[in-house]
Amino acid sequence: YPPVFAVFPPFFITFASMNYNRILLKLSGESLAGSQGQGIDPGRLASYASQIKEAVALGVQVGVVIGGGNIFRGVAGAAKGFDRVTGDQMGMLATVINSLALRSALEDAGQPARVLTAIGMFPIGEPYSNRRAIETLEEGAVAIMSCGTGSPYFTTDTGSALRAIEIQADAMLKGTRVDGVYTADPEKDPQAVKFDRISYDEVMARGLKVMDLTATALCRENSMPIRVFDMDTPGNLLKLLRGEPVGTEVY
């Protein structure tokens, strides 16, 4: 009989080349707004759903945390007169709106998804627990985890780091509109240099805005690799999952 890989070459090659079995994908609320600057861009939403569906088709289990900055940011609200707790709670609700939109887009694309909320919000979403999230992933559905940590004063980056650790993800992939980590903001400084790899300690020592310090420290303490990449370019997520050199690895 011929060897298995000769009979099923596409299956063998695809799965042998993947780096991750389970990921936590952090999406930016601001990026979801697209060129509109605020709200939800239907084209960008459809692109995200399509890329996530492709990832699941590869056999990767995908958990998602999405920010709410396209609708409301707690810190910005506090600067305008809201008390910080109220502002952060409003920001949590914004993440739920984005999560529901992403679930709808995924289901329209034929990919099952479930919204889990850190704050009791039935029937809008099921209460979050790491066990329920893992069950969802093992069923082949996308687990969309909203409301951040469920507590004020913590960003969705910290919520993403926490959820990645709780669901035992192989890595946290942070999808942004920038193609990696730079020495400075590449949108403001044309001399900024991109890192292919950088340690958690160097990120913190340089004060680089990869994530907030709490999220970075949490990933460092739990040895959770981070990959920062440009999610707004269709196909990048698939390339990353197949092991191609996309974005910046934080280790």
Per-residue pLDDT at 147 exceeds 50: yes
Q: What is the mean pLDDT of residues 104-110?
A: 98
Q: Of the given ranges (36-40, 63-67, 151-155, 200-204), which has the lowest mean pLDDT?
A: 36-40
pLDDT digits (tens, 9 = 90+) for 44-55: 999 999 999 999
Q: What is the mean pLDDT of residues 62-73?
A: 94
Q: What is the mean pLDDT of residues 137-149?
A: 98
Predicted confidence at residue 78, as pLDDT, reads 64
Q: What average pLDDT is seen over the chain?
A: 91
Predicted confidence at residue 179, as pLDDT, reads 93
Contacts 24+ apart (CB under 8 A), 242-249: 242/14, 242/17, 242/18, 242/19, 242/58, 243/17, 243/18, 243/19, 245/196, 246/179, 247/179, 247/180, 248/180, 248/181, 248/194, 248/195, 248/196, 248/197, 248/198, 249/196, 249/197, 249/198, 249/225
Q: What is the mean pLDDT of residues 101-105?
A: 98
> pLDDT grade, residue 5 (50/70/90)?
very low
Q: For residue 25, give every residue at least 6 positions away whose Cβ sits within 8 Å of its Cβ, in sequence order, or none.
A: 52, 62, 63, 64, 65, 173, 175, 237
Per-residue pLDDT at 8 exceeds 70: no
Q: For residue 10, give every residue at least 6 positions away whose Cβ sits within 8 Å of its Cβ, in sequence order, or none.
A: none
Reading the block at residue 123, the tokens are: 């029937």
Torsion sign across C-alpha atoms 233, 177, 94, 213: positive
Q: What is the mean pLDDT of residues 56-67?
A: 97
Predicted confidence at residue 13, as pLDDT, reads 37
Amino acid at 36: Q
> pLDDT grade, residue 36 (50/70/90)?
confident
Q: Where are the alpha helices (DSSP H) in 119-208?
A: 130-138, 156-166, 200-206
pLDDT digits (tens, 9 = 90+) for 159-190: 999 999 999 999 999 999 899 999 998 888 98
Cβ–Cβ under 8 Å, residues 98 and 69: no
Per-residue pLDDT at 14 exceeds 70: no
Percent of the chain with pLDDT over 70: 90
- Pairing mode, if any, of strands 197-198 and 194-195? unpaired
Predicted confidence at residue 20, as pLDDT, reads 94
Predicted confidence at residue 144, as pLDDT, reads 98
Measured distance between the N- and C-terminal CA atoms of the chain, rounded to whole angstroms: 44
Cβ–Cβ under 8 Å, residues 98 and 145: no
pTM: predicted TM-score of the whole model, two decimal places: 0.89
Angstrom distance (rounded) from CA 72 to CA 56: 30
Tokens 């289990």 belong to which residue?
61
